[in-house]
Amino acid sequence: MNILKHYHITALFLLLLVLACKKNQHTRPVIPEPEPVPVKPPPAISKILVPIKLETTGLILNLKYKDKTDLLTEISDASGTKTVITYTAEQHPSELEKYKNGKLFYTAYYERADKKTTSKVIMFETKGSFYTPLGSYTLSYNNLQQLNEVKYYNHNEQLNKTRNLSYISGNLSEEANTTPPSSAEVNTYTFDQKKGIASHIKYSQILALEHEHWFLYFTSNNILNLENPKMPLENISFSYEYNEDGYPSKMTINKNTSVQHIKITYKALEP
Asked if residues 211 and 198 have their Cβ atoms less than 8 Å apart, the reply is no
| 3-state DSSP assignment of residue 62 | strand
pLDDT at position 180 is: 87
- What residue ranges of the chain have pLDDT lower than 50? 2-9, 11-20, 22-23, 26
pLDDT at position 106 is: 98
Domain residue extents for the chain: 48-269
pLDDT at position 7 is: 47
Q: Which fold would CATH assign to domain 48-269?
A: Porin (2.40.160)
Provide the whole-model pTM: 0.81
Asked if residues 98 and 104 have their Cβ atoms less than 8 Å apart, the reply is yes
Spatial CB neighbours of 65, under 8 Å, sequence gap ≥ 6: 50, 52, 71, 72, 73
Spatial CA neighbour of 107 closest among 94, 123, 119, 93: 123
Let me know how many helices (H) and strands (E) the chain has, helices first.
2, 16
DSSP states of 138-186: EEEE-TTS-EEEEEEE-TT--EEEEEEEEEETTEEEEEEEE-TTSPPEE
pLDDT at position 267 is: 98
Report the distance separating Cα 15 and Cα 93, nearest Å. Answer: 96
- CB count, 10 Å around CB of 150? 19
